[in-house]
Amino acid sequence: MEEKDIKKRLVELLEKSYSPYSNFPVASIVIDENDNYYEGVNVENKAYPSSLCAERNAITTAITGGMKKIKKIYVIADIDIPISPCGACRQVMSEFSTKDTEIILYGTKTDDELRYNEEEILPYSFKL
Ligand SMILES: [Zn+2]
């Protein structure tokens, strides 16, 4: 799937977000090391800490599907700048990234995009 099609699919996925408390839908797509494709949206809960971000939802779905490492992860929100993943998501991305992993960030109301690798998006991540 080409990146313009991935962005289009991400916009479609925003409709599946369960975000009645924040009204801030987020969607994510993970491509793994074997070019398998996984989707995720944010899923909120009235007990707020029980909520799950779209990125971690896509990553946990990918792990369930057999992913070992992220090749690319895309994230989008309905805003006028590229979305900025939270710290917890950055740490989870770090866990499953390689030096070649690409993190691509979009907003629906801008053509701007940001591209990072794991070290750029989470310098000095927690590692054992
Ligand atoms: Zn997050």
Q: How close is the Cα of 53 to the center of ligand 1, in Å?
A: 5
Q: How close is the Cα of 89 to the center of ligand 1, in Å?
A: 4
CA–CA separation, 106 and 98 (whole Å): 21
128 inside domain: no
User: Which residue range(s) make up the domain with 26?
Assistant: 3-121
Is 55 a catalytic site residue? yes
126 inside domain: no
49 inside domain: yes
85 inside domain: yes
127 inside domain: no
How many domains, in total, are found in the chain? 1
Residue 72 in marked binding region: no
Q: At 34, which CATH number?
A: 3.40.140.10
Q: How close is the Cα of 24 to the center of ligand 1, in Å?
A: 12
Residue 2 in marked binding region: no
Give the E-state strand segments of the chain in sequence order. Answer: 26-32, 37-41, 70-77, 102-107, 113-116
71 inside domain: yes
102 inside domain: yes
Tens-digit pLDDT string for the chain (128 aa): 898 899 999 999 999 999 999 999 999 999 999 999 999 999 999 999 999 999 999 999 999 999 999 999 999 999 999 999 999 999 999 999 999 999 999 999 999 999 999 999 999 988 87
